[in-house]
Amino acid sequence: MKPTQFTFWFAVCSFSCLLTPEATTVESRSISPKYFAVLRSGDVGKLREAVDHGSSANARDALGNTSLMHAAVYGDLSCMRLLLDRGAEANATNAAGATALMRAAVDDQKVALLLERGADANARSGLGNTALMLAARPWNSHRAVKLLLSHGANARATNEFGATALMAAAAGGDETSVRLLMEHGADPNARPGTGHSDFILGGGRSALMWAAYRGDVVILKLLLDAGADVNAEASLGTPLSQAAWADHTAAARLLIERGAKPNQTAHTDGYTPLHWAASTEDKDTALVKLLLEHGADPNLGGGENVDAFMGTLQTPLMLAKRRGETPILTALMAAGATNETPDKIRAPMPPSRIVPEKLDTATLRSAISQALPPLQETSLESKQAFVRHASRQDCVSCHQQFLPLAAIGLAKRQHVAVNTEAEQALVKMVHDGELRNIEADWQALFHPEPAHTKGYSLFGCAAEDLPANDYTDSW
């Protein structure tokens, strides 16, 4: 998944809450680099001095983020209280409709302070997120969730992509939050939308699917007992396929006991749960045998849009063989797995150049030196190709930009010559691309997807020794 598939947030954010003139000078209204450095430091003494010398408690940066929003991220309660005492507006929004309460949502003490000062518990950002959704994200979120619910936060609210606080709580694994949300009317059968943008910012999973993916049997039981549909599908398949995807045998057993269908095929990838179970690196046969014992067909083909390149449908047997002679392969064959279509993907191709018999330092250094120029060229040209494509994907990607950035940085550390002009162009491309993602990153509801994509981003930036800044802070 490309990290900058988040860039479309501009198209969906509401900009009705744009900056409004304040009755102060331009200097005190704007967050200068110096003032931002003070806010980012989290030092209440420096903040008091800045405000005493004219920096506004309601100042905004170029994206409309207020001093209070930055204090909610970087400071402690004393920083926030100082700004509120000096007149900071608790419900001010940035250009994307986000509030200080949304920024502070994971910290119950900050949430309590803002609610005491009149923050709206049901404010929605342009993406449709509420503080409750953002509060429910981490494990141990229940204190903030309880506070928001006690101040009237709507447990049934969805964002623009169909995501809910209950999905976030199930993804985060906080059992108490899940209970609290359902006690306040959260719908255990809500599902995110199935479009591309719905998948990225809606998570692609129902609450039950998130619990299955995490193997959380306790939360699975809570949701099932509350009436969650055990076979309801979302973008990433079914609850049972999610349990199989992540090798959670106990979760799969519970779902089957509650009526999950072992042969249900996901519309996105064409796989059944057995396909995922057969693909595992884990050599334990328990999950595969469980599915087979409950009627899973070992000869079904699947994988359209994912693994069925050139029309070769993948069977559980074919997927298992990629791991070698394993107990899982034996279990499948014992259950009658025979279907194995010719695998065109893995047809051996002769090397285009002579492969050295031994890889010594000199050979590796020479190969890296030869590989870097085309890598640097394609890292820049590929983005233009994305834009020219019919999909108009003006994005910076994991594989085409961040991994080359990491390779370039690591090569430099080994004193391999790089094209510094192309290197700086790539750094700027990455910076400009990620700059557009800041708000979507601050509001990312789910893991692991954003964690995976931002891992690529961090890998590339760290290899280049790029300094942390406001957009990497959002990661």
pTM of the model: 0.86
Tell me the domain boundaries of the chain.
362-473
- pLDDT tens per residue, the chain (475 residues)? 333 333 333 333 333 333 333 333 333 479 999 999 999 999 999 999 999 999 999 999 999 999 999 999 999 999 999 999 999 999 999 999 999 999 999 999 999 999 999 999 999 999 999 999 999 999 999 999 999 999 999 999 999 999 999 999 999 999 999 999 999 999 999 999 887 777 777 888 999 999 999 999 999 999 999 999 999 999 889 999 999 999 999 999 999 999 999 999 988 888 999 999 999 998 899 999 999 999 999 999 888 655 555 567 889 999 999 899 999 999 999 999 987 765 444 555 676 777 778 888 888 899 999 999 999 999 999 988 888 877 677 778 888 899 999 999 999 999 999 999 999 999 999 888 888 888 988 998 886 555 567 788 888 889 999 898 888 898 8
Which pLDDT value is given to residue 342? 53
Distance between CA atoms of residues 382 and 403, nearest Å: 13
SS3 assignment, position 356: coil
CA 293 centroid distance within chain? 35
Which pLDDT value is given to residue 348? 55
* Angle 439-442-447 from CA coordinates, rounded to 5°: 125
Distance between CA atoms of residues 330 and 451, nearest Å: 35
Distance between CA atoms of residues 83 and 104, nearest Å: 14
DSSP state of 269: T
Which pLDDT value is given to residue 9? 34
Distance between CA atoms of residues 123 and 63, nearest Å: 18
Which pLDDT value is given to residue 446? 80
Which pLDDT value is given to residue 45? 98
DSSP bridge pairs for 164: 158
* Angle 421-425-427 from CA coordinates, rounded to 5°: 115
DSSP state of 398: I
